[in-house]
């Protein structure tokens, strides 16, 4: 293992250990560290965070506080923090809950009013939607 990999591993461990302190108790269960990249020339790092779409705005408003907490935790300058909205999986539960009302509305879309598209490909798309 080279020096760069050891440094990245150390930074990841430090950040994961104090993750609750970095993002706050309110957002701890709805966020997860995606990756941390270390820039050797500038001796700084960039952080990618997976988060629930409902809290992205709140996290962006807390960005300066989070940056300071990360810098205190890992002892290094943070170049950038990226937020990725994790819309396909829920951190609190393993199943996706779909409101039945909206599911029924999506199945009743009129095929002839879809931007004037009336071809076989559009029909196949609607057939796949209605099968689910």
Q: What is the largest CA-CA distance in the chain?
A: 61
**Domain hosting residue 114, numbered range:** 100-131
Q: Does 106 reside within a domain? A: yes
Q: Does 95 reside within a domain? A: no
Question: CA separation (Å) from 51 to 7, 12, 27, 56, 90?
Answer: 25, 17, 9, 7, 9
According to DSSP, the β-strands at 44-51 and 31-39 are: antiparallel
pTM of the model: 0.60
Question: CA separation (Å) from 68 to 5, 35, 55, 95?
Answer: 24, 18, 19, 35
pLDDT in tens, 103-113: 555 555 554 44
Q: Does 105 reside within a domain? A: yes
Same structural domain, 81 and 109: no
Q: Could you say which DSSP state residue 124 is in? A: H
> Could you tell me which residues come within 8 angstroms of residue 39 by beta carbon, excluding any fewer than 6 positions away?
45, 46, 79
Instruction: State the pLDDT confidence band at 65, using cuts at 50, 70 and 90.
Output: very high
Q: Does 92 reside within a domain? A: no
pLDDT in tens, 15-50: 888 888 888 888 888 888 888 888 888 888 999 999
- Three-class secondary structure of residue 119 per DSSP: coil
Which pLDDT value is given to residue 96? 44
Same structural domain, 75 and 124: no
Same structural domain, 13 and 76: yes
Instruction: State the pLDDT confidence band at 99, using cuts at 50, 70 and 90.
Output: low
CATH number (domain holding residue 53): 3.30.300
Q: Which of 74, 86, 69, 91 is nearest to 36 (CA)?
A: 74
Which pLDDT value is given to residue 119? 62
Number of domains in the chain: 2
């Amino acid at each position: 293992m080279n020096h760069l990999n050891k440094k990245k591993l150390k930074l990841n461990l430090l950040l994961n250990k104090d993750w609750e302190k970095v993002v706050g108790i309110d957002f701890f269960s709805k966020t997860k560290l995606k990756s941390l990249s270390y820039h050797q020339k500038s001796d700084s790092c960039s952080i990618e965070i997976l988060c629930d779409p409902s809290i992205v705005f709140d996290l962006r408003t807390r960005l300066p506080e989070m940056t300071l907490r990360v810098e205190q935790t890992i002892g290094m300058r943070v170049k950038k923090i990226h937020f990725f909205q994790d819309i396909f999986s829920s951190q609190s539960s393993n199943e996706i809950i779909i409101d039945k009302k909206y599911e029924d509305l999506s199945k009743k879309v009129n095929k002839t009013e879809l931007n004037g598209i009336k071809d076989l490909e559009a029909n196949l798309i609607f057939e796949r939607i209605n099968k689910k």
